[in-house]
Structure 1
Amino acid sequence: MTQPKAVLFICKHNAGRSQLGAHLLTHVGIEQLVATSAGISPAGAINPAIAESLHELGIDTFAARPLAVTVEDLQTADVIVLMKSGLPLPGPVAGELVEWSFPDPSNWETEGVRELRDAVAEKVRELATRLIA
């Protein structure tokens, strides 16, 4: 069996969009893909509205902690997904670079986050399908 592909989702604070991407890809349950997330300048905790929207799907975010993206992360991930185009990365990307543009949900309530969650889920499913084809 081949090694799973590492998919790294990145946003500014690793509290919202990138957490959605990583948790939703993990939730898809494809063994050939391993999801992680990081941020350019990590927040202190995952956005509560993001966590609640994921909990609604049965996804546990209890252990989720915002992390800073490192040069090593960029070199070891097979696929890097920027949840906002043009984010300033700390080094070069060795794998495939994918850029999406999702709005920053940092001040949103759970009700507003649901639409974002569902849009990210759709893009994640499309990416997963392409990566395992």
Structure 2
Amino acid sequence: MNGRPSVLFVCVHNAGRSQMAAGWLRHLAGDAVEVRSAGSEPADQINPAAVEAMREVGIDITGRTPAKLLWKTAEESDVIVTMGCGDACPIFPGKRYEDWKLDDPAGKDVAAVRPIRDEIRARVTDLLADLIPAEGT
């Protein structure tokens, strides 16, 4: 990774898990990390329960739009985090991959999405600590 690391979060619809993960990383890392998200079969809109769950913790993802996973986007990313996209996610030699096993928030109400949101936060926090170690470590 040269300069600012780039992280791509990928799930099928790019409407829940990957959008929440991108929201958390933007919130926690600020400009220190380039954040991207995409889906193998993007939905028309972000999951409203995911939007509400993130709003509850002060993160607004309403302006985001599900995006199609493009070869170029993956190729230009340093770290690719997949979340249930299976074989639809491309594999690039030399890239760092993480596959996060997370429940899909599709069709769930906000109460069911909160634990998913919180698990994503914990994983993003760990990823960020690995990408940008604290001063003096």
Fold-level similarity (TM above 0.5)? yes
The answer on whether the counterparts of 2:46 and 2:62 sit within 8 Å (CA) in structure 1 is: no
Consecutive aligned runs of 4 or more in structure 1 exceeding 3 Å deviation: none
The answer on whether the counterparts of 2:40 and 2:85 sit within 8 Å (CA) in structure 1 is: no
Tell me the equivalent position of 1:107: 107
User: Which SS does the other structure have where 1:38 is aligned?
Assistant: strand
Aligned length: 131
User: Within 2, Cα distance between the matches of 1:127 and 1:84?
Assistant: 18
User: Within 2, Cα distance between the matches of 1:62 and 1:114?
Assistant: 17
User: Within 1, Cα distance between the matches of 2:59 and 2:34?
Assistant: 16
Task: Give the alignment's TM-score, normalised by structure 2.
Answer: 0.89
Q: Can you give the 5+ residue segments of structure 1 that lack an aligned partner in the other structure? A: none
Tell me the equivalent position of 1:77: 77
How far apart are residue 105 of structure 1 and its match? Answer: 1.0
User: Which SS does the other structure have where 1:84 is aligned?
Assistant: coil
1:63-74 aligned within 5 A: 63-74=63-74
User: Within 1, Cα distance between the matches of 2:76 and 2:7?
Assistant: 10
CA RMSD of superposed structures (Å):
1.5
Structure 1 71/85 Cα, relative in aligned 2: closer, same or farther at 3 Å?
closer
Question: Structure 1 vs Structure 2: percent identity of aligned residues?
Answer: 35
The answer on whether the counterparts of 1:25 and 1:35 sit within 8 Å (CA) in structure 2 is: yes
User: Which SS does the other structure have where 2:31 is aligned?
Assistant: coil
1:126 aligns with 2:130: no
1:36-115 aligned within 5 A: 36-84=36-84, 86-89=86-89, 91-94=90-93, 95-115=95-115
User: Which SS does the other structure have where 1:45 is aligned?
Assistant: coil
How far apart are residue 84 of structure 1 and its match? Answer: 2.1
User: Within 2, Cα distance between the matches of 1:114 and 1:74?
Assistant: 28
Residue range with higher mean Cα deviation, 56-65 or 27-36: 27-36
Tell me the equivalent position of 1:19: 19
Task: Give the alignment's TM-score, normalised by structure 1.
Answer: 0.92
The answer on whether the counterparts of 1:85 and 1:99 sit within 8 Å (CA) in structure 2 is: no
